[in-house]
Chain A
Amino acid sequence: MAAHLKKRVYEEFTKVVQQQQEEIATKKLRLTKPSKSAALHIDLCKATSPADALQYLLQFARKPVEAESVEGVVRILLEHYYKENDPSVRLKIASLLGLLSKTAGFSPDCIMDDAINILQNEKSHQVLAQLLDTLLAIGTKLPDNQAIQMRLVDVACKHLTDTSHGVRNKCLQLLGNLGSLEKSVTKDAEGLAVRDVQKIIGDYFSDQDPRVRTAAIKAMACKLLSDDYEQVRSAAVQLIWVVSQLYPESIVPIPSSNEEIRLVDDAFGKICHMVSDSSWVVRVQASKLLGSMEQVSSHFLEQTLDKKLMSDLRRKRTAHERAKELYTSGEFSSGRKWGDDAPKEEVDTGAVNLIESGACGAFVHGLEDEMYEVRIAAVEALCMLAQSSPSFAEKCLDFLVDMFNDEIEEVRLQSIHTMRKISNNITLREDQLDTVLAVLEDSSRDIREALHELLCCTNVSTKEGIHLALVELLKNLTKYPTDRDSIWKCLKFLGSRHPTLVLPLVPELLSTHPFFDTAEPDMDDPAYIAVLVLIFNAAKTCPTMPALFSDHTFRHYAYLRDSLSHLVPALRLPGRKLVSSALSPNIMPHEDPSHQFLQQSLERVYSLQHLDPQGTQELLEFTIRDLQRLGELQSELAGVADFSATYLRCQLLLIKALQEKLWNVAAPLYLKQSDLASAAAKQIMEETYKMEFMYSGVENKQVVIIHHMRLQAKALQLIVTARTARGVDPLFGMCEKFLQEVDFFQRCFIADLPHLQDSFVDKLLDLMPRLMTSKPAEVVKILHTMLRQSTFLHLPLPEQIHKASATIIEPAGESDNPLRFTSGLVVALDVDATLEHVQDPQSTVKVQVSYPDGQAQMIHPKPADFRNPGPGRHRLITQVYLSHTAWTEPCQVEVRLLLAYNSSSRIPKSPWIEGGEMSSQVETSIEGTIPFSKSVKVYIMPKPARR
């Protein structure tokens, strides 16, 4: 009896433990009911083992399913699910259900019951988790259906007690997503339920598994900020940030007192506290997030820069405060006495709060962090906050200036850039300027140039400041003569921003004397030019200044106005005619005479197309010449002028080619001369690629014209080949290709065809049916006549067009000392170039190295080698590796920059042209390169290796 009882007792104890292995029993698929909606079913029937079934399901998952058949498929899947014993197959089915319920146009509410049903019977944890995921998909699909949402939340709550962390995770996710959805939709009535959800999730903050904790906190909000795991803290920081962004204005109580503050301020304080976390990952994140909390109140914001100093329990002023005080009291900083920083008043020991829970000193800590990642993040955050708050900008200035002395160049550079961005809001004090200017001696070119940019837009408060800046810039100039252009530009802006401050300095700067004439300075001295640039730019808005100039200054002005017109503005000088036509900046570009000239000359060309060929040619030649000169004179019109000139040159070439005698004489006689026509065709092709890819701002209208011109060139090529080539066989292929291209042109630019009235292509398309059926010889003949008859298309000028250009600064190509290296090994050549108006230089700009033996090498610089100092400008600083076998004596290799293009990139994509068809076409993508910088010669000498 007792034994019997005992057995029973133990049976009850061991009942509940569910082992997954039990489920892996014999697996066989038995599906009987045939279905029409999908082939899937048959596949599943055929499957004899779980592995097979899994394979079929995987295949099935790759194909899209139409909305109307989704339900049928789901039914089959569910049916199969019930019979399936293998958890992995069930898992796959569950995930498929989720995918299917996301199908557009399918309302998943009908499968929800089934999904919840199977959920209740499911034993495998993984499948459970997957099913919950599916439910989540369903729930998010039906955001409006309150009943379903509530039901799903119920289900999730039930499974929260599961032993597997995966299932708990999913439940929390479900709760988080659907619970918060509820919140945004519902009103007070459901408010209770919402709070319930939050509380449930809150309970899981203390779950034993860190993964579950991470999920819990991601689902809602602050005690986890002090969790042991950095991932949890990191998620907590993010969460708080999100909450603060969602409800910035809600009021939260402070736990220890009965005060209340805005949520965003509270969150700001908490995140600030995390800036001194022990994990640098969290610190970086916290610093970054601070930057985006712009709604925080200024009181809290300013605390971040506040750090109460204390020495031996007495209040001490920071060096910043002292510097400011010295400055305001008019003394120069002595700093010579030991007691200079002596502490002042006693601090009330009770009032000192050593760990402020609030924002105090967050940035002071962040900027002093050990990891430069944190420092950079802090600088970025400062930048963003300062941009939105001028008063904060003023306050953070001292700290940014300090960062100019960071040990890592990246940080210095970043802080200089930051300062530039906020410089509209601030005026530099003299002592700050002093520190800023000290950086001008930095040996890194990037830093110096960034600083020049900064000075361009800085406000200086005193004339001493201007003087100091000028002196330091000149010092910089003597130390690094390569900075010349950048310094001149900087002085230009410095002058035009502070005319009244420059005015009192003029006599000293020009070293004029009231009674004596002084020696005329050297006109070629870059330092003197720098001073003049500063003065002339200041004089532009200060009419009294020219009175202080001496005679030679005026002469120099005239010279500089001509030679450095981009740096020296037009001045209204007393008693003199304006050297250049006075342009007040208000004149619209269209009223600008040079622009008018451009317009007129182009009009002339376009209207006079029925002139005799000789006259047309001359007119074209003259216009091209005019345009080129105009481009040289007026830098702002250079792009337009060059662009139009190139187009006209193409036209000219085309006319010239058609005027060839070749056409009048029997083909066999003119083999040699035909070179001219085919060369013209080739050149036109090249020019059209240049037009298409070397200019930024080219619009669709222009692209059509350019393509049209290219089509003409191709036609020319075809007829020249027809004339010169023997036999008909090659012609067949060419004709066919040409016609395909015409077809392609038509399809790409269908929208623009109405604008091309009377043009070559217009006529061509009219004759297309005939051409398709004609023999090659016939085609060529038609093309020839059409080319001759076609009119000259008007090229509409784009608003803004700039020619891409590049200048190689380094290597300078002047060195006589060859670069020696052992053959077979590599030598690194530093290349430094500025790129103007290049779009996406990272992918298009390449460096070409051509060796004397004709070998050419193309090098693709790393994306990180490009810097972007200003809009439309890029700087390429890279290393090119050269190598060669041994030479007997030093030779020069040429280095130049190329612009790579891909013709498919510019073609407008019409919605009805499918991508697949496009790629099968002949003209898909012609890739090529355009050289766009002068080549530089480098003397190198590969020596044979010594053994």
Chain B
Amino acid sequence: MPEIRVTPLGAGQDVGRSCILVSIAGKNVMLDCGMHMGFSDDRRFPDFSYITRSGRLTDFLDCVIISHFHLDHCGALPYFSEMVGYDGPIYMTQPTQAICPILLEDYRKIAVDKKGEANFFTSQMIKDCMKKVVAVHLHQTVQVDDELEIKAYYAGHVLGAAMFQIKVGSESVVYTGDYNMTPDRHLGAAWIDKCRPNLLITESTYATTIRDSKRCRERDFLKKVHETVERGGKVLIPVFALGRAQELCILLETFWERMDLKAPIYFSTGLTEKANHYYKLFIPWTNQKIRKTFVQRNMFEFKHVKAFDRAFADSPGPMVVFATPGMLHAGQSLQIFRKWAGNEKNMVIMPGYCVQGTVGHKILSGQRKLEMEGRQVLEVKMQVEYMSFSAHADAKGIMQLVGQAEPENVLLVHGEAKKMEFLKQKIEQEFRVSCYMPANGETVTLPTSPSIPVGISLGLLKRELAQGLLPDSKKPRLLHGTLIMKDSNFRLVSSEQALKELGLAEHQLRFTCRVHLHDTRKEQETAVRVYSHLKSVLKDHCVQHLPDGSVTVESILIQAAAHSEDPGTKVLLVSWTYQDEELGSYLTSLLKKGLPQAS
């Protein structure tokens, strides 16, 4: 029985370390290869020994697919390919291919240079790893080998994020990665056609949330920034380098342009600048507005957003600064925060979630006095705002995507178990498809019934059509033909053609049966009687009396002969081909009953 097997090595009932193994029709594919942000020991990478037990990775895996450049989806890639050892192809979209190494390098620097970890992958390893990458375009069908093909769909979320369809023959799996069903200022909404996969593997980060309209959020954000700037205050927005930072930049940039504001907006240099450069290049991956207007002006060539310099933090007058990192736990954003916290005119806007223990979390939970290193106490007078700009699909969005793709089964990953339960129940209830949520290391096996396409020759098809009504998908139809299996494809041809192709001579199988009739008349007369009897019984069939004295019913031949021994008995020779078995046996049984007495 053919089946699809799915084993999450990471992201099973969990967020982070996405890594899912899929076996489909004998092909093994690894979806994403991420790291876990919450751990710094071995647990941060997926447990590849699960695969290596049975041999080398390259032998086992046919390909690796990376959905987007977030580290929890690609962070373990150099480790996986260079340290564990994998030489097969790695597929990702072009923006991911471009941005991924920057993030990996950054991650490596923090881990090795700052935390001093040993036995970590090196810069060279990142480079070597990226050499194995094959870039995929949107909606391009890539043949990994003769049977396995993959295709990317737009996923929103971040620049270059994609959903992948993995297909072998008629069996297919769709992996969504992270996606967003509502468009934002720089990215469009995820879209998939009605591909009806056997299995849809979807993220479920916001399985239990239905979000408010993004417009309210945007408006609130802009209003708050605007008011502070008008008051002459400074606004600090701690962000992570990629993704939301660009979104907020565009939001502010367009607002500044519309409202003709003059206050400067600064962006911390380094990583973000580099990333912005890539955003400029990958315009086709952005939303409608940016794509349509980039000929006049590339939206990522910010007019109002300039690079930040340390000295600017002390300059007077209103300004808006985007600074990394996003949780205010270290670096530039924290420095600026300390400078500005004392003034009640200023404001800090946290655009995302903050982990417990960070300064960001403290101020969000209302703490007004912060202990800094060296026993200093920082009094926070500035306003603290929280705005959630998240680029994941909410429960409605997930349902919408499931509705669009019409899968036979759904599998949830990348979410918390409790929330998944709810969504699972909803999906099963509303789409009536089975839904799975395996934990890490747990394997889900789905039996499939792959349809095997069989080519039919046109001549045969036309002949069949001519015989009766059009084919009806709901009713099975009987068709006579010959099935030829050759070079792993199937063809249905008429038997003559099959014989010709295979160079075989046709053998005809005929059944002959003798029926003894008690009839004293001559052979001819018996034949006439048989003819008139059959004619009256078989009204629907063509019954003929041939000049040589024999009778035919369709292609069945009936001859009457005198019995060699008993002249009072006539022998009817009934002969039919294999194809006419049904009619033939009916005729014999009919004749065996004898002829009606001539009246």
**Bind each other:** yes
Task: Answer yes or no: B244 CB below 8 A from chain A CBs.
Answer: no
Could you tell me the distance in whole angstroms from the C-beta of A384 to the nearest C-beta in chain B? 21
Give the complex CA separation of A435 and B220 in angstroms.
Answer: 10
Q: Which residues of A contact B194 (CB under 8 A)?
A: 228, 278
Contacts A278-B404, A335-B224 given: A408-B289 contact, CB under 8 Å?
yes
Contact A338–B365 (Cβ < 8 Å): yes
Name the one of A8, A307, A313 contacting B555, with C-beta atoms under 8 angstroms. Answer: A8
A17 within 8 A of B: yes
Evaluate contact between A319 and B217: CB separation under 8 angstroms. Answer: yes
Partner of A319, one of B188, B216, B364: B216
Nearest CB in chain B: distance from A426 CB, A: 19
Of all A-B residue pairs in the complex, the 10 with the closest CB atoms, nearest first, are A370-B183, A319-B216, A402-B215, A16-B466, A310-B210, A313-B208, A441-B259, A443-B260, A354-B399, A338-B364
Question: Is the CB of B189 closer than 8 A to any CB of chain A?
Answer: yes
Q: Within 8 Å CB of A399, what residues of B?
A: 213
CB-contact partner of A372 in B215, B289, B404, under 8 A? B289
Measured in the bound complex, the distance between the Cα atoms of B220 and A786 in whole Å is 80
User: Which of B77-85, B139-147, B318-326, B380-388 makes up part of the contact surface?
Assistant: B380-388
Q: Can you name 25 A-B pairs with beta carbons within 8 Å?
A: A13-B463, A16-B467, A17-B466, A228-B194, A278-B191, A309-B212, A310-B210, A311-B210, A312-B208, A312-B209, A316-B210, A319-B216, A319-B220, A335-B224, A338-B384, A349-B425, A354-B396, A361-B396, A368-B182, A369-B183, A370-B188, A370-B287, A371-B288, A438-B226, A443-B258
**B 197-216 contacts with A by CB, 8 A:** 208-216
B563 near A: Cβ within 8 Å?
A: no
In chain A, positions 328-369 with a C-beta closer than 8 Å to chain B are: 335-338, 340, 349, 352-355, 361, 364, 367-369
Give residues in B with beta carbon < 8 Å to A: 182-183, 185, 188-189, 191-194, 208-220, 222-224, 226, 254, 257-260, 287-289, 364-366, 383-386, 395-396, 399-400, 403-404, 419, 422, 425-426, 430, 462-463, 465-467, 469-471, 473, 508, 510, 550, 552, 554-555, 557
Given contacts A161-B470, A444-B258, contact A364 B395 (CB under 8 A): no
Say yes or no: A335 contacts B220, CB within 8 Å. yes
CA distance A309 to B216 in the complex (A): 13
The answer to whether B557 and A1 have CB atoms under 8 Å apart is yes
- A16→B467 CA distance, assembly (Å): 8
Contact residues in A for B469 (Cβ distance below 8 Å)? 161
Q: At the interface, yes or no: A318 with Cβ under 8 Å from chain B?
A: yes
How many angstroms between the C-alpha atoms of A353 and B224 in the bound complex?
34
A367 to B419 alpha-carbon distance, docked (Å):
28
- Cα distance A1–B546 in the bound complex, in angstroms: 11
Q: In the complex the two chains form, is B213's CB within 8 Å of A405's CB?
A: no
A568 at the interface (CB under 8 A from B): no
Closest residue of B by beta carbon distance from A403: B215
Q: Which of A236-265 contact B (CB under 8 A)?
A: none
CB distance from B365 to the nearest CB of A (A): 7
Whether B210 and A308, one on each chain, are in contact in the complex, defined by CB atoms closer than 8 angstroms, is: yes
State the Cβ distance, A560 to closest chain B Cβ, in Å.
Answer: 30
Which residues of chain A come closer than 8 Å to B183, judged between CB atoms? Answer: 368-370
- Contacts A228-B194, A443-B257 given; does A335 touch B385 at CB 8 Å: yes
Residues of B contacting A364 with CB < 8 Å?
A: 213
The answer to whether A405 and B399 have CB atoms under 8 Å apart is: no
Q: Is A190 an interface residue (CB 8 A)?
A: no
Spell out A's residues near B (CB within 8 Å): 1-2, 5-6, 8-9, 13-14, 16-17, 161, 163, 206, 208, 228, 276, 278, 307-313, 316, 318-320, 335-338, 340, 349, 352-355, 361, 364, 367-372, 399, 402-403, 405-408, 435, 438, 441-444, 479
Closest chain-B Cβ to A375's Cβ sits at a distance in Å of 10
With A17-B463, A369-B183: A442-B259 Cβ-Cβ less than 8 Å: yes
Question: Given the complex of chains A and B, what is the CA–CA distance between A353 and B466 in angstroms?
Answer: 50
Docked Cα-Cα span, A661 to B389, in Å, equals: 89
A312 to B404, CA, bound (A): 24
Give the nearest-CB partner of B554 in chain A. Answer: A9
CA A368 – CA B394 in complex, angstroms?
A: 14
Query: Are A402 and B219 interface neighbours, CB within 8 A?
Result: yes
Question: Whose C-beta in chain B lies nearest to the C-beta of A312?
Answer: B208
Alpha-carbon gap, A932 to B211, bound state (A):
56
Point out the residues of chain A lying under 8 angstroms from B383, CB to CB: 336
State whether A14 touches B463 (Cβ < 8 A): yes
Are B289's CB and A367's CB within 8 A?
no
Given contacts A17-B466, A364-B213, A405-B215, contact A206 B473 (CB under 8 A): yes
Report the Cα distance A163→B364, complex, angstroms. 71
Given the known inter-chain contacts A307-B210, A368-B213, please indicate yes or no for A163 contacting B430, CB distance below 8 A: no
A355 touches B400 (CB 8 A): yes
If A14-B463, A340-B386 are given as contacts, then 20 extra A-B residue pairs at C-beta distance below 8 Å, sorted by A number, are A5-B552, A8-B555, A278-B193, A309-B211, A309-B212, A310-B210, A310-B395, A313-B419, A318-B213, A319-B213, A319-B216, A335-B220, A364-B213, A369-B183, A370-B189, A403-B215, A406-B215, A435-B219, A442-B259, A444-B258
Q: A309-B211, A338-B386, A443-B260 are in contact. Are A372 and B218 (CB under 8 A)?
A: no
**B367 CB, nearest partner CB in chain A, Å:** 11
Docked pose: A444 CA to B257 CA in angstroms? 10
Q: CB distance A337 to B212 under 8 Å?
A: no
User: Chain A residue with minimal CB distance to B384?
Assistant: A336
Would you give the shortest CB distance from A771 to chain B, in whole angstroms? Answer: 66
Chain B residues whose C-beta falls within 8 Å of the C-beta of A16 in the assembled complex? 466-467
Choice from B185, B219, B403, B557 contacting A407 with Cβ under 8 Å = B185
Decide: A367 near B215, CB < 8 A? Known: A310-B208, A438-B223: yes
A206 to B425, alpha carbons, bound, how many Å? 32
CB distance from A97 to the nearest CB of B (A): 29
Question: CB-CB < 8 A to B185: which residues of A?
Answer: 407
- Chain B residues with Cβ below 8 Å from A367 are 213, 215
Q: Nearest Cβ distance between residue A353 and chain B, in whole angstroms?
A: 8
| A444, B430: Cα distance in complex, Å | 47
- Cα distance, A278 to B473, chains bound together (Å): 26
Whether the Cβ atoms of A349 and B422 lie closer than 8 Å is yes
Chain A residue with the shortest CB-CB distance to B227: A438
The CA-CA distance from A163 to B464 in the complex, in Å, is: 12
Residues of B within 8 A of A441 (CB): 258-260
Chain A residue at minimum C-beta to C-beta distance from B431: A355
Q: Which residue of A lies closest to B211 (CB)?
A: A309
Chain B residue nearest to A354 in the complex (CB): B399
Most chain A CB within 10 A, of B209, B210, B400, B419, is at B210
Complex CA distance for A337 and B463, rounded to whole angstroms: 76
Q: Report the minimum CB–CB distance from A518 to chain B (whole Å).
A: 28
A408 to B258, CA, bound (A): 11
CB distance from B565 to the nearest CB of A (A): 25
For A370, the closest partner residue in chain B by CB is B183
Tell me if B258 and A309 are in contact (CB < 8 A).
no
CA distance A6 to B385 in the complex (A): 91
Q: Is the CB of A443 within 8 A of B259?
A: yes
Complex CA–CA separation, A318 to B214 (angstroms): 11
CA distance A573 to B226 in the complex (A): 44
- Is B555 within 8 A of A9, CB to CB? yes
**Which residues of chain B have C-beta atoms less than 8 A from A13's C-beta?**
463
Expressed in whole angstroms, the minimum distance between the Cβ of A125 and any Cβ of chain B is 14
Could you tell me the distance in whole angstroms from the C-beta of A450 to the nearest C-beta in chain B?
A: 14
How far, in Å, is A164 (CB) from chain B's closest CB? Answer: 12
Complex interface: chain B residues within 8 A of A316 (CB): 210, 212
From known contacts A17-B466, A438-B223, infer whether A405 and B218 are also in contact, taking CB-CB under 8 Å.
yes
Residue of A nearest to B463 (CB): A13
Residue of A278, A403, A435 touching B192 (CB-CB under 8 A) = A278
C-alpha spacing A355/B23, complex, angstroms: 31
Contacts of B366 in A (CB 8 A): 337-338
B258–A442 touching, CB < 8 Å: yes
Question: In chain B, what residue has the closest Cβ to A318?
Answer: B212
**In the complex, what distance in Å separates the CA atom of A338 from the CA atom of B348?**
12
B557 and A5: CB pair below 8 A? Answer: yes
CA distance A5 to B508 in the complex (A): 12
Whether the pair B209, A311 counts as a contact (CB closer than 8 A) is yes
Q: Are B470 and A354 in contact (CB under 8 A)?
A: no
**Which residue of B210, B254, B289, B422 contacts A309 across the interface (Cβ within 8 Å)?**
B210
